[in-house]
A and B are shown apart, each in its own frame.
Chain A
Amino acid sequence: MKTLLIDIDRCNGCHCCQIACKDEHVGNDWSPYAKPQPDIGQFWIKVTDVVQGSVPKVRVRYMLDVCQHCDDAPCIKACDSQAIAKREDGIVLIDAAKCNGARACQAACPYGVIYFNDELNIAQKCTMCAHLLDDGWKEPRCVDVCPTDALRFGEEEELKAFMEGAEILKPEAETKPRVHYKGLLNKFFIAGAVFDPVIDECVEDCTVTLIATDGVKSTLKTDDFGDFWFERNPPGTYSLVIEKQGYQPHRIDSIDASIDVNVGDIELLK
């Protein structure tokens, strides 16, 4: 069964996948696999930059949205004209000849990856470049052009080594996606910097303790810039305690880590 593995941690945001998908499908008619994609407005694979944190602790991560080729695809069930079907290799295709433009699939898809072509009155989406695979090509265009191996494609068995720790999108939808992600944007950093305003120095080697609402603690030491970064925290409310011998401890409460957060530059006083 074909599987696509997306490693957000290796995505450099080049958009090559998004652009190559358009190169393959805009202006090219691959019927019966897919009718041409309009020049603009559809993104069978879409890159979105997510900017989080504040100066100078800011990061950008890139989310990739693409048809999940679900094993239990709501779009297939929603389509009255039986235009959508799953192939033996796991790829879900919309048959443009059968599509009556009812848009039920769009409404049923929990991932928002089915587009509508007004001109042709059909629903359209990623085909995993089935027209290429059936003609002997090894990978869909998006994977072939990825310069960083953030995208990998193959039989699920072949990808096992890379799949460790991978997640699926919206598991609560119970759609059994064939697309797996690493580094999904569901865990966030809590970062800051510690300094001594009296001597005007960054304070290295502070013990910084992060406390979650359930009392679970993690600690780390500030580096030579006084920086600390707690990586990949589940969303929630946190407290921070900063301690160093000779200084008064500093505590910050009610840190909302529903996104990446820079708590700022923290003065530590003697």
Chain B
Amino acid sequence: MKQTPKLDTRGETFVKGTGLSACGCGSHTACVDVKDGKLIRIRPLHFDWQYTPEDYKPWKIDARGKSFGPTSKSLLAPFGMAYKKRIYSPNRIPYPLKRVDWDPDGERNPQNRGISKYERISWDEALDIAAKELKRMWAKYGKEAVLAQCDGHGETKIVHGVHGAHAMLLDMMGGFTLQVRNPDSWEGWYWGAKHIWGMDPVGLQWPYNGNVFPDILKNTDTCLMWGCDPETTSWGFGSVLMSRYCYHLTDLGIKQIYICPDLNYSAAIHADKWIPVRPNTDAALQLAIAHYWITHDTYDKAYLETHSIGFDKFKSYVLGEEDGVAKSPEWAAEKCGVPSRTIKALARRFARDVTSIVHVQGGPMIRGAFSTEPARLEVVLLAMQGLGKPGVHQANMTSGAFLVEHSTGRVCRPAMPGAKKVPWVGASYTGYNLFLPIPKQIIPKTLVHDAILDGKFEIFGSAHQQFPTEDQFKKYVYPAPGCSPIHMIWSDTPCLMTCWNDSNKNAEAYRHESIECFLVQHPWMENDCLFADLILPVNTKFEENDIGTDFISFQYDMLLLEKKCIEPIGETKTDWEIVVEIADRLGVKEQYTQGMNEQQWIERGWRESGVADMVSWEELNEKQYFPSPTDPDWEKWPAGLYEFYADPEKHPIQTPSGKLEIESSGLLKNFPNDPERPPIPKWVEKSALHDERLGGERAKLYPLLCMSNHPKWRIHAQLDDVSWFHEIHTSKIIGPDGYHYEPMWIHPSDAAPRGIKSGDIVNAFNERGEVLFGAYVTERVMAGVVYADHGARYDPIVVGKIDRGGSINTLTPHARTSTKASGGMVTNGFLVEVAVADLEGLRRDYPDAFARPIDRASGLVFERVLAEKENQQ
């Protein structure tokens, strides 16, 4: 065959971070090729494109005869390569919309939110209404009447600050009510572990996480991957390098034991052993391990003597001296589903080997009721084996260490080698700044429904993820003294319906008569958008000029100049542009923009990045990225808590006593009699708030324990419309009606008696609601447990009652982590029943819901919300 004539395949190349963290935390840097105004491809960045390795100085960890280091190119999750489908999604909102029966000058019909359709309006009309509504609110109720939802994940933008450009305006105007994002992927550590080892503000072993991953390669024998799935949770914005790290552990002979109800995507390929444990029963397993060590004298008593307080009380509880119940392996086996002989073997292995516990945020251990307890017990177990000594760590495969440094000022070394100077562009971030003091009135994200439906709450702790432990003893009331309850919601984070607790209650709250205006900015017609009165369409980062960083990929820390790749789709604008227009209508544009345009904001980011002396503005414009050279002294950073281990007096941790408080002095002082979070960590079977155990009363009606975790083929609510993922059967199951159902994993022994086969459409239900799923009958989940990812697009058959889209969070508990851990979220380990769905019956009863148009490839489409006359245009 003749050689075919050469094509120009390249086009113009841009650099963009494809990490989907938002909050200014960039990662997953990609090259984007564009030709004739069309996006051709998104691909890894080869670091040597504009530089040589001598410039950025690759790091290398030598351990046990082998080397580990970064690759020559960025490691992207498939999310990056698939993003074209998100940009050109048939679910993009192309122009401003108004709910047809919402009249800002007349009837507002709040009860029809989620049901009524939308009509197209002009930008001028939309922005005029928005500004007018704000002024009306302020005049009628005061500034706090407006709730700003502006947190969580999304595209990572800086100058076009996704999440909170509007809150910065409201803040400037003199106040608002802030929706505070609870520590949704690390609840137990935040509300629990902090009381034992400080680690403010996060609660995981931060900021003492320097060099833990090199140290594990050198000194650890066994890694307990406890509810840990780096092949999933790292994809959104963490490090894909962690996949290679797990292979490297195997190459070095370091064992990986996965402890989780499901054979997660990492256990499926990396596990030396999988120990299935029932959702949210880890505390029983942990107590039994402690029991075994105490009764077999295989723990580090000398360490506990010098490094901790309160162990004796804990020991007494474990042995049953306090309550007459020994927390033995036999006791635990019944609760957690792990055979007692396996618990004993695990206890022996943990004591015999140099052992670390590894997490990637999220995971089934940390998002259940009373998750404070497994989080604290984990620290106790590590303490009993000399936490901080070489190879003994709690290691977190999601970094973000740099944020801690920015919020606390404490020097924080990354868990993997990194740059000496980490670029930071906070100076040009226009989103809501996490480190600002909170306004007078707040509503934790977990209590939005309560605030609206009950009109009041009284809680302990703001649930603010950047706040210190002491905040948990502080009382917050709503409405705050002198403040109005909320009457308007302005959101650029419309995802409560699919990511938060008891979200059917959010549907009820969004439709409450007290909410007069619900204004949403978002690129896609999904989830809470369905309840909005006014929708302002936003563009994706590929349609904007921006600056950015990459500092959580664990390869190189980089400064990026993210130029606009393509023109905006439809009439969309950036979040910041929208807020600037509203500011203009309020007469404060100059003040809001600080008199600077987009380019000036971008340039400010470079100027104050900390690396402006290493890369000139001209060079950054030409090369588009700057990899900051690796710190030549990285090997000198002490690993983890080594300094505390070596000399606890000289290097105390940030607890009141400076030691590991197995009995927490803070809890003892403030809540000495709290049965749900007692001063020493315990097993909590149930309480007035939660009855979600298999042995309980509710289990007679709902006999399966549901596990839900961060999704494999999405990042939370993002990416649910990517047709290329829908072709993967663990992503979507196409029903006989052509609808794209979310998979629900169920063990063959639970499926058979219910007559469920793989591919059947089933409904999962409890008293909170009912959700349709496609059944995936598999040995990847233990018996008695069903599994569903969160984040599927809410598609109500009956608003607030029946969902077709697979939003598992409509079935999650309403109550928070515990009474005193008032803002924590419970989204894992709750009771449901599952049955084959009567699709035909539903179709007959709810013809409208089943008649909505869907795209054969990607499911839900924008047009489904348009009023008939719009559809005919």
Residues of A in contact with B (beta carbons under 8 Å apart): 10-16, 18-20, 22-24, 26-28, 30, 32-33, 39-41, 43, 47, 49, 51, 53-61, 85-88, 93, 130-132, 134-135, 137, 141, 144-145, 147-148, 195, 200-202, 224-227, 265
Contact = CB atoms under 8 A, between A and B. Distances in A.
Contacts of B268: 13, 51, 58-60
B9 A132 contact: yes
Given A134-B7, A195-B341, A56 B275 contact: yes
B4 A32 contact: yes
A87 B330 CA distance: 67
Interface string B711-735: 0000000000001111111100000
Contacts of B349: 224-225
Contacts of A134: 3-4, 6-7
Contacts of B782: 55-56
10 contacts: A33-B7, A47-B728, A55-B782, A58-B268, A58-B779, A130-B4, A131-B7, A134-B6, A141-B41, A147-B244
Given A15-B78, A60-B269, 5 more contacts: A14-B240, A23-B84, A56-B276, A58-B274, A60-B780
Nearest to B353: A224
Contacts of B10: 135
Contacts of A145: 43-44, 76, 81
Given A86-B1, A87-B1, A148-B247, A55 B779 contact: yes
A140 B810 CA distance: 43
Contact of A148 (B40, B244, B346, B857): B244
A23 B81 CA distance: 6
3 closest residue pairs by CB, A with B: A60-B268, A85-B1, A19-B78
A171 B723 CA distance: 35
A200 B340 contact: yes
A225 B3 contact: no
Nearest to A10: B247
B622 interface: no
Nearest to A150: B247
A202 B71 CA distance: 42
A138 to B, nearest CB: 9
A87 B274 contact: no
Interface in B1-43: 1, 3-10, 40-43
Interface in B221-242: 231, 235, 240-241
B111 interface: no
Interface of A, secondary structure class, is: mixed
A147 B339 CA distance: 37
Contacts of B71: 147
B348 interface: yes
Nearest to A31: B7
A224 B7 CA distance: 60
Contacts of B725: 19
A123 B1 CA distance: 18
B514 interface: no
> How big is chain B's contact interface, by range?
35 or more
A40 B779 contact: no
Contacts of B5: 32
Nearest to A87: B1
A195 B344 CA distance: 12
A20 B44 CA distance: 10
Interface string B37-59: 00011111000000000000000
Contacts of B726: 40
B345 interface: yes
Contacts of B8: 135
A28 B779 CA distance: 40
A227 B275 CA distance: 12
A134 B489 CA distance: 55
A135 B274 contact: no
Contacts of B6: 134-135
B329 to A, nearest CB: 8
A13 B341 contact: no
A54 B20 CA distance: 35
B620 to A, nearest CB: 25
A27 B35 CA distance: 13
A22 B84 CA distance: 10
B65 to A, nearest CB: 19
Nearest to B749: A55
A194 to B, nearest CB: 10
Contact of B274 (A26, A51, A56, A144): A56
A93 B857 CA distance: 27
A132 B729 CA distance: 30
A225 B343 CA distance: 9
Interface in B739-786: 747, 778-783
A58 B725 CA distance: 24
Interface string B438-482: 000000000000000000000000000000000000000000000
B77 interface: yes
B288 to A, nearest CB: 13
Given A28-B40, A141-B41, A201 B344 contact: yes
A117 B4 CA distance: 22
A180 B71 CA distance: 24
Interface string B392-436: 000000000000000000000000000000000000000000000
